[in-house]
Amino acid sequence: MENLSLNRRQFLIGTGALLSLSTLQSSGVPIYDHLDHKKVALIGAGWYGKSDLFRLLQVSNVEVVAVCDVDENHLEEAAILISQRQGSKKQPKKYNDYRELLANHQLDIVLIGTPDHWHALQAIAAIQAGANVYLQKPISVDVLEGEAIVAAARKHNKKVQVGTQRRSTPHMIDAKENVIEKGLLGNISHVEMCCYYHMKSKANPSEQPVPDFLDYEMWTGPAPLRPYDGIPHGGWWRAFMEYGNGIPGDMCVHMFDTVRWMLNLQWPKKISATGGSYVQKGGKSNIADTQTAIFEYEELNCVWTHRTWGTPSDPDYPWAFIVYGDQGTLKGSTMKYEFIPTKGEPILKNVIYEKEEFPEDLNEPRIELNAAPATRRHMLDLLAAIKNDELPIADVLQGHISTACCILANISMELDRAVQYDPINKICIDDPEATAKLKRTYRSPWKHPSHTT
């Protein structure tokens, strides 16, 4: 066995880490034996891919044996940082093509942090290669991709944890257990969800040569090949529907998934949406700057609103959900929750940071400090699911429902009518035009995955 005193595991068995892990355990998260050695690979070594991997390395003695990215600069940086973080101090083997990586290694877990248009093909390939998967949200760019991932995970009995880590956020868990499940809200009949961050790019760059360090053809993969006008994976790709589903696919999926988890909601009976580019008409971006969507359940509407301009309706909750009951209101965000009863004392709980237990968080570029504790718990939950052969808290089916509903909201907005998705027959009921939009056209030679195989 490797000398644990020489690496990150020293911290895990130190006093501070014991406090942190005991805190996790007391919150109901099973603590996985960190000495169990699992082979791990990362596909998509940009900002969030590395961030997810580093959270896993903080709570488990996995070995990262391979890393893949189409950007040589990302690849080199990731390999060095991983070697510094993991116990063996070994650099993972580097790949430009995820298919070669999967063919050359027998892996226990694959983390996928690529742009949305790659999620389905890479997740299914990893599952078919025998790996469990940590898959960033949204799980797909079209509805039938999501169905195909779910089918693959079930067929091969692999665990897929989706990066909707609000389900593992301590103060969100507290709100679910101590407000909603205790019935403090009374009868719940309305939910509002929102994002008012100014996330739509106004850029209008000119076409330029593809740099030598980037394989733009491979980066594009099954998506339409746009003229190259700058590094796409620094966030520029989120400006385009070719690669994702705009603000709903990025931000609504988190809040809607949180609400569904808290209220035990599955597929809505109907989805409708309106919106478009009403204000920010300049620049190349083709995502909507304004959108409202309604996810209809029996005697309950979940309403999503985003604006990438103006000011939030509540400055304390610019990205949030509000659950309304006849006995009170629950406001929640990544930073806190508030329960405001019609009678009695309010309840306020703030985010947990764990800066003392994991001080290296403070030196990690671009880390979301408020999300790091939740992601660590999310990783531990996946490890426990693998060990116990049970579904993780953010199982792929739940990730699919949350993702698909956001995609269906975009379809409704485009068609200017409500849509009803039938998850059994995988069609939009009485709507062939909407059904045709459940599956995007792939660029050759890439083939759209099938949910029937």
pLDDT of residue 451: 83
Structure confidence at residue 272 (pLDDT) = 98
pLDDT value of position 36: 65
Residue with tokens 């996330």: 199
pLDDT of residue 37: 84
- Go through the domains of the chain in sequence order and give each one's CATH number: 4-166+371-395 (3.40.50.720), 168-353+398-436 (3.30.360.10)
Q: Per-residue pLDDT tens, the chain, 453 aa: give them.
A: 233 322 333 333 233 333 344 455 444 444 444 446 899 999 999 999 999 999 999 999 999 999 999 999 999 999 999 999 998 899 999 999 999 999 999 999 999 999 999 999 999 999 999 999 999 999 999 999 999 999 999 999 999 999 999 999 999 999 999 999 999 999 999 999 999 999 999 999 999 999 999 999 999 999 999 999 999 998 999 999 999 999 999 999 999 999 999 999 999 999 999 999 999 999 999 999 999 999 999 999 999 999 999 999 999 999 999 999 999 999 999 999 999 999 999 999 999 999 999 999 999 999 999 999 999 999 999 999 999 999 999 999 999 999 999 999 999 999 999 999 999 999 999 999 999 999 999 999 999 999 875
What pLDDT was estimated at residue 178?
98
The pTM of the full predicted model, rounded to 2 decimals, is 0.93
Confidence (pLDDT) at 337: 98
Instruction: Output the pLDDT for position 453.
Output: 54
